[in-house]
């Protein structure tokens, strides 16, 4: 409870998560409802965050967009964490040829700028929510793998691992029951930080028209509207941008809070 940074981050993410869960109950309008009489209306009592060029309520689209943005961030990082844990554990525990092979794959993947690699893959595949999640996950596991490998190299020489070997524990049991649980602290810090980065990446892709496709709302493709209306409709830029900023800040605060806990 003394970790104010962690508590503040949890409060921010809990707020946006609650909005995403209750979107169908708290949204004042359907996100795709077009109102020709309310085109580019500034914030008002009727539309608290204004409307876009098609008369759609920005607040409603942001509420439903929180589901997409948070889901993409969490699931993509979940995929990356699972892959990183698996490969990093194998590399660190077995060493030798397996370690060299996995680390060379990591080095090759790190040679490619992640954003441009994702752009290239999406240009080939059809842009969709599922594809965005999978592609972000498959291109962001390298850091987790290197982190887990370094933890495994340190942990596998500890006394409790030697004791597990002495009583006949299998390699699988040692990895899953003893090594991975002890390596989860740094991985948790990395994962929470990665969720914010994944949300920002999804928003950038959607802003470029290569992410979540309309009419499905996400914070990124809501911002796309602002490219042509920035001079006359500031609210379409301000509110989605602020939501992205605060959400990423919340995950970063959680990551920093976890870092203080694990020392």
The answer to the question of residue 229 being in a domain is: yes
The answer to the question of residue 110 being in a domain is: yes
| Domains held by the chain: number | 1
The answer to the question of residue 196 being in a domain is: yes
Angle between helix 142-155 and helix 96-111 axes, rounded to 10 deg: 150
The answer to the question of residue 180 being in a domain is: yes
The answer to the question of residue 34 being in a domain is: no
- Checking if the pLDDT of 263 tops 70, the result is no
CA-CA-CA-CA dihedral for 21, 24, 25, 30, to nearest 10:
140
- Checking if the pLDDT of 183 tops 80, the result is yes
CA distance linking residue 263 with residue 94, whole number of Å: 27
DSSP helix/strand/coil, 51:
strand
pLDDT level of residue 154 (50, 70, 90 thresholds): confident
The answer to the question of residue 117 being in a domain is: yes
The answer to the question of residue 30 being in a domain is: no
The answer to the question of residue 132 being in a domain is: yes
User: What's the pLDDT at 205?
Assistant: 82
User: What's the pLDDT at 253?
Assistant: 92
Domain span at 131: 4-22+58-262
CATH number, residue 213: 1.10.3720.10
Q: Compute the mean pLDDT over every residue in the chain, rounded to the nearest whole number.
A: 88
125-129 long-range contacts (CB < 8 A, ≥24 apart) are: 127/205, 127/209, 127/210, 127/211, 127/212, 127/213, 128/212, 128/213, 129/68, 129/71, 129/72, 129/212, 129/216
């Amino acid at each position: 409870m003394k970790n104010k940074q962690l508590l503040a981050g949890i409060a921010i993410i809990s707020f946006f998560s609650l909005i995403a869960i209750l979107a169908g109950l708290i949204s004042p309008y359907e996100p795709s409802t077009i109102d020709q009489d309310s085109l580019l209306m500034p914030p008002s009592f009727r539309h608290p965050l204004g409307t876009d060029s098609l008369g759609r309520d920005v607040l409603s689209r942001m509420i439903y967009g929180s589901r997409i943005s948070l889901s993409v961030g969490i699931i993509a990082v979940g995929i990356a964490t699972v892959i990183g844990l698996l490969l990093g554990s194998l590399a660190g525990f077995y060493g030798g040829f397996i370690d060299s092979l996995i680390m060379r794959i990591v080095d090759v993947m790190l040679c490619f700028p992640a954003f441009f690699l994702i752009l290239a893959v999406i240009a080939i595949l059809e842009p969709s929510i599922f594809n965005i999640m999978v592609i972000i996950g498959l291109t962001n596991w390298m850091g987790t793998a290197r982190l887990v490998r370094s933890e495994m190299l340190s942990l596998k020489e500890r006394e409790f691992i030697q004791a597990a070997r002495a009583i006949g524990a299998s390699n699988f049991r040692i990895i899953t029951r003893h090594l991975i649980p002890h390596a989860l602290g740094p991985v948790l810090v990395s994962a929470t930080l990665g969720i914010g980065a994944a949300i920002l990446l999804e928003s950038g892709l959607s802003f470029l028209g290569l992410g979540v496709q309309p009419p499905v709302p996400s914070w990124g493709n809501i911002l796309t509207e602002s490219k042509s209306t920035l001079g006359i409709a500031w609210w379409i830029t301000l509110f989605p941008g602020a939501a992205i900023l605060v959400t990423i800040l919340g995950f970063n605060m959680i990551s920093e809070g976890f870092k203080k806990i694990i020392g």
